[in-house]
Amino acid sequence: MTPVIWLLGLSGSGKTALGSLLRLYLEGQGIKTDFIDEGRFCRQTDIAPETRTTAVDALRDHVLQQHAQGRVCVVAATTPYDCMRQKNREILPLYHEVWVRCSLQTLVDRDTRGLYAKAGHTHVTGLCGLTDTFDEPRHADHVIDTDHRSLVESYLLLRDFALNALDGARRWARMEQTLLESPQVIVGQQHSFAF
């Protein structure tokens, strides 16, 4: 079993940069990894909520396929609605949600792609956090504040979180294997497992 590391947050918060760095690190450690950016499934702006939901559904299906092949999946997707995240938790095995949090003011100031300036002049619609809803995550497994941390600091926090997730997945796989090989060990006995 391999984990799914799902980076979510507003456009420009650093999801893609952090996800790309994490993929490079994991592959350098010999871990089969797939980095999936939402841009492969939809544009981040000028789309209706229904279209965005359909795109995240397609992205999630792709993640399931890659996960079934034993790959660690690192996802960078805005994932703005609570219902999307809840569906992720219900469907994706070993799902780990990381909120790449950045204040709207910092994003407007940075505006590396000019999206926020365009949205202010109505050239762009559907920009989450500005012209579309972004439900603040209430159950994120980890939060990285990129308006208070450098890229290096943010990456190191993500790397350590991902390594812990991998460790947990390995422990789970070992326990599962032990139970499959020796089911008689647990018959009639009570055991507690520490994670």
Q: What is the DSSP string of 119-132?
A: HHTTS----BTTTB
Stretch 152-170: mean pLDDT, rounded?
91
Q: Phi first, then psi: give them for residue 137, nearest 5 degrees.
A: -65, 130
Number of Cβ within a 10 Å radius of residue 12 = 23
The pTM assigned to this predicted structure is 0.80
- b/e burial code for range 51-71 (CB count within 10 A of at least 16 → b): ebbebbeebbebbeebbeeeb
Question: Helix, strand, or coil here: 30?
Answer: coil
Tokens standing for residue 186: 């647990």
Please check whether residue 96 is in contact with residue 5, taking contact to mean a CB–CB distance below 8 angstroms: yes
Q: How far apart are CA 43 and CA 69, in angstroms?
A: 27
Q: How far apart are CA 169 and CA 27, in angstroms?
A: 17
Please check whether residue 78 is in contact with residue 88, taking contact to mean a CB–CB distance below 8 angstroms: no
Q: What is the pLDDT of residue 106?
A: 86
Q: Which strands, in side-by-side order, build the sheet including 4-8?
A: 33-37, 72-76, 4-8, 95-101, 142-145
Q: Render pLDDT for 15-44 as a digit per residue (tens, 0 to 9).
A: 999 999 999 999 999 999 999 998 777 765
Q: What is the pLDDT of residue 194?
A: 46
Q: What is the pLDDT of residue 184?
A: 55
Percent of the chain at pLDDT above 90? Answer: 52
- Mean pLDDT check: name the lowest of 28-37, 128-137, 141-150, 186-195: 186-195
DSSP 158-174: HHHHHHHHHHHHHHHHH
- Mean pLDDT check: name the lowest of 47-56, 64-73, 80-89: 47-56
